[in-house]
C-alpha cells in the first residue's frame, strides 16, 4: 500500500517539475494564531472576541502575527553589520543565520524569534540588540494531495475546513477513501503531526463527520486505500513519503514564483 502512495506522490512531483506555471497562489495576509484557530472552532468565542476588539481594546492585547513559510525577514544586530541579513523562511520552517546556523522560525511571532536570536547571540556578543522586520508575506495556502482531481496548492479562505479544501481541489476521485483523510501539520518543533478524519458521505449524512479548520501550510492527503494506523502512516511519511512531498511543494513554489 505504501509503495503505491510513494509512487503516486513521486508521479505528482515529476508532473509539477515539467508543468507550466500554476495560477493557484493565494493572496498575502496574516496567518491565524492558535487562539484564532480556537475561536474558529467556537463561533461564540469568536463573536465575543470581535466585539471586544471593536470596543476599543488596546492594540498591545491583540494577537501578534505568526511567521510562515517564505515570509521575508530582515534581521538586524546593532553595531554588528556583518550579522545583518535579509532572508526567507524556508519550506522546512527554518532560517539560517551567521554564527548561529539553523533556527526554526515558522509559527513564531516576530518578538518570539527576536528573543530566541538575542539569547543565542548573547553567548558571543555582549548585550546584543536584535531587531526583526517582516518585509514580505507569503500567500495563505494549504496543499491537497492524493486522490483528488486537481492536487496542488489551494488558496486558503477564512474558516476553511478540510472538506472545503478538498472541494477546492475539485473534489475526490472515484475510489478515494474519504473516511481516512489525513491532515498533516508541523508543530512548533518542526515535527509532522497527523490526524485522520472521516469525511465519508455516510458520516456527513449522519452528521458524524470529523471536519476541522485548516491552517496555513497544512497538507491534506486523500488516500486510495484505508489508513488503519496514524502511527504507521507517520512512519511511512518519515521513511519514504515525506521526501517526495517536500520536493513536490518546493517545485510548486518555484513554478509559482516563475
CATH label of the domain that carries residue 94 = 3.30.1950.10
Pairwise CA distance, residues 101 & 81, whole Å: 17
Pairwise CA distance, residues 3 & 10, whole Å: 10
* Residue 73 confidence (pLDDT): 95
What cell was used for 106?
A: 515558522
* Residue 237 confidence (pLDDT): 63
| Number of domains making up the chain | 2
153 shares its domain with 177: yes
Tell me if 47 is assigned to some domain: no
At 240, the pLDDT band (50, 70, 90 cuts) reads: low
pTM for this structure? Answer: 0.47
Nearest to 176 by CA among 203, 201, 210: 201
Per the CB < 8 A criterion, the answer to whether 100 and 120 are in contact is yes
User: Which structural domain, as residue segments, surrounds residue 83?
Assistant: 72-136
171 shares its domain with 126: no
Report pLDDT digits (tens) over 45-87: 443 344 333 434 455 556 677 888 788 999 999 999 999 999 9
Mean pLDDT of the region 22-48: 37
144 shares its domain with 83: no
Mean pLDDT of the region 111-119: 95
Look at residue 16 and tell me whether its pLDDT is greater than 80: no
Look at residue 129 and tell me whether its pLDDT is greater than 90: yes
At 7, the pLDDT band (50, 70, 90 cuts) reads: very low
CATH number for the domain harbouring residue 189: 3.10.560.10
* Residue 1 confidence (pLDDT): 43
Amino acid at each position: 500500500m505504501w509503495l503505491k502512495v510513494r509512487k503516486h506522490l513521486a508521479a505528482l512531483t515529476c508532473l509539477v517539475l515539467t508543468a507550466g506555471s500554476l495560477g493557484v497562489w493565494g493572496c498575502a495576509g496574516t496567518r491565524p494564531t492558535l487562539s484564532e484557530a480556537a475561536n474558529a472552532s467556537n463561533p461564540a468565542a469568536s463573536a465575543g472576541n470581535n466585539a471586544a476588539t471593536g470596543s476599543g481594546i488596546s492594540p498591545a492585547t491583540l494577537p501578534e502575527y505568526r511567521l510562515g513559510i517564505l515570509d521575508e525577514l530582515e534581521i538586524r544586530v546593532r553595531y554588528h553589520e556583518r550579522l545583518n541579513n535579509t532572508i526567507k523562511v524556508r519550506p522546512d520552517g527554518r532560517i539560517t543565520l551567521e554564527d548561529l546556523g539553523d533556527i526554526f522560525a515558522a509559527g513564531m511571532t516576530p518578538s518570539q524569534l527576536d528573543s530566541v536570536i538575542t539569547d543565542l547571540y548573547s553567548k558571543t556578543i555582549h548585550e546584543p540588540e536584535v531587531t526583526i522586520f517582516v518585509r514580505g508575506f507569503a500567500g495563505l495556502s494549504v496543499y491537497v494531495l492524493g486522490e483528488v482531481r486537481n492536487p496542488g496548492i489551494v488558496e486558503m479562505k477564512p474558516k476553511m475546513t478540510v472538506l472545503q479544501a478538498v472541494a477546492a481541489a475539485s473534489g475526490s476521485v472515484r475510489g478515494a477513501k474519504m473516511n481516512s483523510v489525513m491532515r498533516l501539520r508541523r508543530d512548533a518543533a518542526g515535527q509532522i503531526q497527523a490526524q485522520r478524519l472521516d469525511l465519508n458521505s455516510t458520516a456527513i449524512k449522519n452528521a458524524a463527520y470529523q471536519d476541522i479548520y485548516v491552517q496555513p501550510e497544512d497538507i491534506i492527503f486523500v488516500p486510495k486505500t484505508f489508513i488503519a494506523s496514524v502511527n504507521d502512516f507517520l512512519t511511512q511519511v518519515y521513511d519514504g513519503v515525506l521526501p517526495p512531498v517536500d520536493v513536490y511543494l518546493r517545485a510548486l513554489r518555484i513554478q509559482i514564483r516563475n
